[in-house]
């Protein structure tokens, strides 16, 4: 993660300087590429449109170069942008929102963010509009996260470090963009342990590229967020997916933690990575399913058989779903729950609702 608050803006303006200077080299009066514009729209790096009429293209570009040089010097010196400049940028927000120009809004947001404190409120206002599910700006969450990572890393860090100034929705989006970064896992852990918002903490945890050496620190982070189900889920998964003897030992320790949230998640992951039966592991049992509950399946159960059909592959399960999804026939379902074999009678269509099971585990 970058630290200097003006680097993104300097890089943006420096890129414009380089491109403009290179273009001018081939467009100076008398050159082979000389061209006169009667009317031409030139687009600035932050998405502004400037119409030059009755001037040569090279003269217009020379003016743009001077403006970009002044902007670069301002950024290097840490000088706030003129109020008139910010006002002109603000006037572009509503037309771009009305036109649903998502990518242009992203560029404008980056331009506001590069101006530091004076532009942050406007950058946040655009950010919130882009996060609005009703906005329909033609952007995916991945588009936004990639732009945050590549264009606004300093703004992301500011948002994560200032929960009182950045809205929760923006901070969750900022945390999600960390998955695109190559941030130091130790720095991510520091951010995570300081985070109070459950959803933001869970998103920060997803950015962790855990190693076996980090298990003690992951355990400590789990205890910091012991009442945060989302963060605990992600962090326990990070330990479980290491698939090392030390990670299984950690899960067994966490399975006796005082927090019921930590205990339950650790027990589920022990079943997943050290199964006591072969069958379909139910990590994401459907919450609204009629089969869910003490008299049916629970998350962490292993679905062993439906009737006489053993579920030894994902294909065998899918075949059963096709057969049962519209059936009211009563079938026997056999599960393994923490080493105990249990059987239930259920309607076929209810069994087929267990449709988020993803893989088969095999007893070692």
Where does the pLDDT of residue 275 fall: very low under 50, low under 70, confident under 90, or very high at 90 and above? confident
DSSP state letter for 292: B
Give residue for tokens 């942050």: 120
Measuring CA to CA, which residue among 299, 356, 348 is closest to residue 327? 348
47 dihedral zone (left: phi>0; alpha: psi -120 to 50; beta): left
CATH superfamily of 279-361: PDZ domain (2.30.42.10)
CA distance linking residue 301 with residue 275, whole number of Å: 10
Greater confidence, 193 or 362? Answer: 193
Check residue 60 and give its pLDDT.
57
Q: For residue range 296-333, what is the model confidence (pLDDT) as tens digits?
A: 678 888 889 988 999 888 888 888 888 888 888 888 98
The whole-number average pLDDT for the span 336-348 is 87
Residue 280 in contact with residue 303, Cβ under 8 Å?
yes
pTM of the model: 0.64
8-state DSSP, 81? P
What are the domain boundaries of the chain? 1-182, 184-274, 279-361
Which of 1-10, 251-260, 303-312, 346-355 is least confident? 1-10
Q: Which of 64, 61, 63, 81 is nearest to 73 (CA)?
A: 81
């Amino acid at each position: 993660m970058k630290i200097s608050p003006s680097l993104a803006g300097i890089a943006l303006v420096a890129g414009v300087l380089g491109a403009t200077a290179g273009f001018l080299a081939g467009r100076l009066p008398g050159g082979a590429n000389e061209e006169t514009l009667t009317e031409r729209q030139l687009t600035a790096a932050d998405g502004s449109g400037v119409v030059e009429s009755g001037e040569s293209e090279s003269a217009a570009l020379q003016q743009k170069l001077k403006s970009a040089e002044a902007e670069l010097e301002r950024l290097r010196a840490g000088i706030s942008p003129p109020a008139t400049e910010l006002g002109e940028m603000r006037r572009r927000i509503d037309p771009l929102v009305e036109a649903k120009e998502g990518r242009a809004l992203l560029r404008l947001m980056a331009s506001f963010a590069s101006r530091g404190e004076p532009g942050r409120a406007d950058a946040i206002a655009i950010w919130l509009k882009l996060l609005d599910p009703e906005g329909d700006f033609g952007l995916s969450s991945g588009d936004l996260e990639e732009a945050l990572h590549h264009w606004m890393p300093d703004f992301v860090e500011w948002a994560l470090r200032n929960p009182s100034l950045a809205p929760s929705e923006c901070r969750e989006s900022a945390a999600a963009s960390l998955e695109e970064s190559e941030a130091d896992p130790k720095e991510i852990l520091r951010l995570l342990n300081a985070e109070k918002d459950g959803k933001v903490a869970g998103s920060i945890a997803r950015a962790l590229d855990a190693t076996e050496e980090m298990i003690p620190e992951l355990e400590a982070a789990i205890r910091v967020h012991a009442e945060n189900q989302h963060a605990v889920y992600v962090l326990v998964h990070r330990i479980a997916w290491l698939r090392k003897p030390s990670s299984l030992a950690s899960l067994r320790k966490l399975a006796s933690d005082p927090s019921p949230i930590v205990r339950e998640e650790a027990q589920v992951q022990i079943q997943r990575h050290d199964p006591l039966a072969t069958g379909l592991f139910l990590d994401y049992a459907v919450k609204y399913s009629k089969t869910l509950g003490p008299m049916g399946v629970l998350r962490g159960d292993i679905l062993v058989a439906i009737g006489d059909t053993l579920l030894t592959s994902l294909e065998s399960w899918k075949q059963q779903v096709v057969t049962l999804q519209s059936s009211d026939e009563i079938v026997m379902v056999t599960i393994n729950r923490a080493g105990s074999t249990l059987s239930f009678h259920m309607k076929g269509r209810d069994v087929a609702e267990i449709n988020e099971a993803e893989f088969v585990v095999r007893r070692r």
